[in-house]
Amino acid sequence: DVEVNGKRFQVAMWVPESAAASAPAAGGTTAKPRARRAGGRAASGGGAGTGSIAVPMQGTIVRVEVAVGDTVAAGQVLCVLEAMKMENNVASDVAGTVAEVKVEAGQAVGAGDIVLVVTPEAAAE
């Protein structure tokens, strides 16, 4: 029962099975969800230091700022992705040479798609 402005109401609540399964038992606690880094792959490419540059979410490539053979620095913007009406910079995770450009302006991409490949500096020599 709930009382609102002096009136008593009987309230029933529906809880989906998935929520009920994760609900704590009386006096217990639930496991906390794992934290996820903001920015994901946009800042770090496809994998730490691999040179495979992936997009963090689906969207449309607005522009590609490098070409095959260009030398790039770690953190340099390689292309720009529009997702949810916002432009997101996609940066290199390594210094090196652009080996492959797999996209062009106007192309739709999915989350996790590899859009460029950069040969790391040490491997490029």
Is residue 20 included in any domain, yes or no?
no
Is residue 29 included in any domain, yes or no?
no
Is residue 57 included in any domain, yes or no?
yes
Q: Kindly list the strands in the beta sheet with 52-54, ordered across the sheet, starting from the edge strand earlier in the chain.
A: 52-54, 114-120, 96-101, 71-72
What pLDDT, on the 0 to 100 scale, is given for residue 98? Answer: 97
Is residue 60 included in any domain, yes or no?
yes
Where residue 74 falls among pLDDT bands split at 50, 70, 90?
A: very high
What pLDDT, on the 0 to 100 scale, is given for residue 51? Answer: 87
Residues of the chain with pLDDT > 70, as a percent, come to 68
User: Could you give the number of structural domains in the chain?
Assistant: 1
pLDDT in tens, 19-66: 555 555 555 554 444 333 334 333 344 555 678 999 999 999 999 999
**What string of DSSP letters covers the chain?**
-EEETTEEE-------HHHHHHSPPTT---PPPPP--TTHHHHHTTSTTT-EEE-SS-EEEEEE---TT-EE-TT-EEEEEEETTEEEEEE-SS-EEEEEE---TT-EE-TT-EEEEEEEHHHH-
Burial class (CB in 10 A: 0-12, 13-18, 19+), 40: middle
Is residue 74 included in any domain, yes or no?
yes
Mean pLDDT value of segment 75-100: 95
What pLDDT, on the 0 to 100 scale, is given for residue 39? Answer: 40
What pLDDT, on the 0 to 100 scale, is given for residue 52? Answer: 93
pLDDT of 89 strictly over 70: yes
Mean pLDDT value of segment 108-112: 95
**CATH number reported for the structural domain that contains residue 97 in this entry:** 2.40.50.100
